[in-house]
Amino acid sequence: MKRLLAILLSLVMSFILAESQVYAIPENQNLEKQEYLVQFDVSSYKGLSEDAINTEFKNVLNSINIEEVDILKAYHLLPVYCVRLSEEQAQVLKELSIVKAVEPNYKVKASEPITQMIESEEVKPLQDTIPWGIERVQATDAHYYGYYGSGIKVAVLDTGIDGGHYDLYVRGGYSVFNDSPYYDGYGHGTHVAGIVAALENSYGVLGVAPDVSLYSVKVLGNDGYGSISGIVEGIEWAVNNNMNVINMSLGSSSYSSIFEDYCNYAYNSGLLIVAAAGNSGNSYGTGDSVEYPARYSSVMAVAATDYYDKRASFSSTGSDVEIAAPGVDIYSTYPDNNYAYMSGTSMACPHVAGAAALVWSANPNLTNIQVRQKLVNSAKYLGNRYHYGAGLVQAYNAIYY
């Protein structure tokens, strides 16, 4: 009997020791680390303050030998951390019930423009040029009846916006990098911003919604690349600063549940999110190639059309395409008081963001869901929904739909 009790006691102790080593990582290993996003499940911490919860989560991270220097960023709207982890540490975290998700900090890039032409100083337009896409989405019709987007805040999450461009009025912004949100070393964000909001100032070009409050949220670097961690930081800024519309002319082929949760959070907080469907389509229009975040249900995925209202051959296709807009040879602002032609779903996306601003300005009591429904229900039917979604966005029709 004593022998049996001794065996049972030995087994119990072995089990306890095994459980106590769940978080253990050998300290003598020289393990290569990479950036991850870690999302915790807060369901067990109801009633605790944010500081108390953060302390609990940091205790978990410290228990597997994660040093303070490796905790790169703590987010606030959701219990997410950007952390440097070894593969072994990441695996241990994935196995904990308190952890909802552990994901690599995926790279994201600007939806690369297909063509580009910069105009020289000598040939800049001396009066407002109305790019063909602005008329095609009925923005000029809305302008005629006095709707210019006043009172609506649009955050452009991109490579920054040239704050000194005389055809743009940037009200504010934020950068996830160590530089200014008003510096755009890549040109992409400034071009996108002009499509949304180039001023009606008898010079340069005209945007879809020239009276919107335009904000530059720099989440992509001067090479056009960024990461999920930077974009969710930008979304946090947009939510905390009461934006109405988020424009994301960027994408990735990698799914992230954390990125999706952030888009859902912003959407459920009342923001309308518009994103480029991607430039991964083919000339046959086959396949499902819509990128993230456009692929998420809380985000409007925008495809690109040409001057003849046909799908641009590069425009991504699939069941997640929600709406279409001009995206070929689009003339808009560019850094250093220049202008450029670019093509891509990056250019289609801000046409829809601007149209949303016009609709919301005309109907300020609408919710983001209602604005989205108006845009979709009033779109001009173009054909295959996998190519065009509901069809070509029509701002004026949406205002009165």
pLDDT of residue 272: 99
> Which helix (H) or strand (E) covers residue 154, if one does?
strand 153-158
* Residue 9 is assigned to a structural domain of this protein: no
- Residue 96: C-alpha distances to residues 70, 90, 99, 257, 282 (Å): 19, 10, 6, 17, 42
Pair 94, 164 in one domain: no
Helix (H, G, I), strand (E, B) or coil at 15: helix
Identify which of 67, 223, 203, 32 has the alpha carbon closest to the alpha carbon of residue 128: 203
pLDDT of residue 259: 98
Pair 92, 126 in one domain: no
The CA radius of gyration of the chain, in Å to the nearest whole number, is: 24
Contact 232, 258 (CB under 8 A): yes
Pair 183, 138 in one domain: yes
pLDDT along the chain (401 residues), means of 10: 35 30 38 91 82 87 91 95 96 94 96 58 61 98 98 98 97 97 97 97 94 98 96 98 98 97 98 97 96 98 98 97 97 95 97 98 98 98 98 97 90
The amino acid present at 190, given as its one-letter code, is T
* Residue 68 is assigned to a structural domain of this protein: yes
* Residue 14 is assigned to a structural domain of this protein: no
Q: Which of 332, 346, 361, 378 is catalytic?
A: 346
Helices then strands, counting H and E runs in the chain, come out as: 12, 17
Structure tokens given for 150: 């006043």
Last residue of a domain, one of 71, 105, 139: 105
Structure tokens given for 225: 């690349």
Q: What is the CATH number of the domain that holds 45?
A: 3.30.70.80
Count of beta carbons in the 10 Å neighbourhood of residue 72: 14
pLDDT of residue 21: 29
Residue 299, CA atoms < 13 Å, CB-side half-sphere: 31
Last residue of a domain, one of 80, 105, 130: 105
165 is catalytic: no
pLDDT of residue 396: 98
Last residue of a domain, one of 105, 127, 148: 105
pLDDT of residue 27: 45
The amino acid present at 87, given as its one-letter code, is E
* Residue 115 is assigned to a structural domain of this protein: yes
**What is the span of the domain harbouring residue 212?**
109-400
Pair 113, 174 in one domain: yes
**Burial of 211: CB neighbours in 10 Å, binned 0-12, 13-18, 19+:** buried
Pair 36, 152 in one domain: no
* Residue 302 is assigned to a structural domain of this protein: yes
- To 5 degrees, how large is the angle CA 197–CA 134–CA 160? 30
* Residue 11 is assigned to a structural domain of this protein: no
Pair 126, 251 in one domain: yes
Q: Which of 158, 184, 320, 329 is catalytic?
A: 158
Residue 23, CA atoms < 13 Å, CB-side half-sphere: 13
Identify which of 160, 166, 162 has the alpha carbon closest to the alpha carbon of residue 128: 166
Pair 98, 121 in one domain: no
Pair 98, 122 in one domain: no
The amino acid present at 71, given as its one-letter code, is I
* Residue 88 is assigned to a structural domain of this protein: yes
Pair 119, 268 in one domain: yes
- To 5 degrees, how large is the angle CA 393–CA 246–CA 374? 35
The DSSP call for residue 126 is: S
pLDDT of residue 309: 98
pLDDT of residue 22: 34
Structure tokens given for 358: 């016009």
Q: Which of 188, 191, 351, 387 is catalytic?
A: 188
Strands across the sheet containing 99-104: 71-74, 80-86, 33-40, 99-104
Residue 19, CA atoms < 13 Å, CB-side half-sphere: 5
- Residue 227: C-alpha distances to residues 32, 36, 93, 106, 206 (Å): 20, 11, 21, 6, 31
Distance CA 381, CA 401 (A): 15
Peptide bond into 113 cis (omega under 30): no
- H helices of 245-394, in order, are 257-268, 345-362, 368-377, 385-388
Confidence (pTM): 0.90
Measured in whole angstroms, how far is the alpha carbon of residue 232 from the centre of its chain?
8
The DSSP call for residue 66 is: -
Pair 224, 305 in one domain: yes
Q: What is the CATH number of the domain that holds 131?
A: 3.40.50.200
128 is catalytic: no
Strands 330-334 and 71-74 come out as unpaired
257 is catalytic: no
Distance CA 247, CA 294 (A): 11
Pair 56, 143 in one domain: no
Pair 41, 118 in one domain: no
* Residue 22 is assigned to a structural domain of this protein: no
Measured in whole angstroms, how far is the alpha carbon of residue 245 from the centre of its chain?
11
What is the number of structural domains in the chain? 2
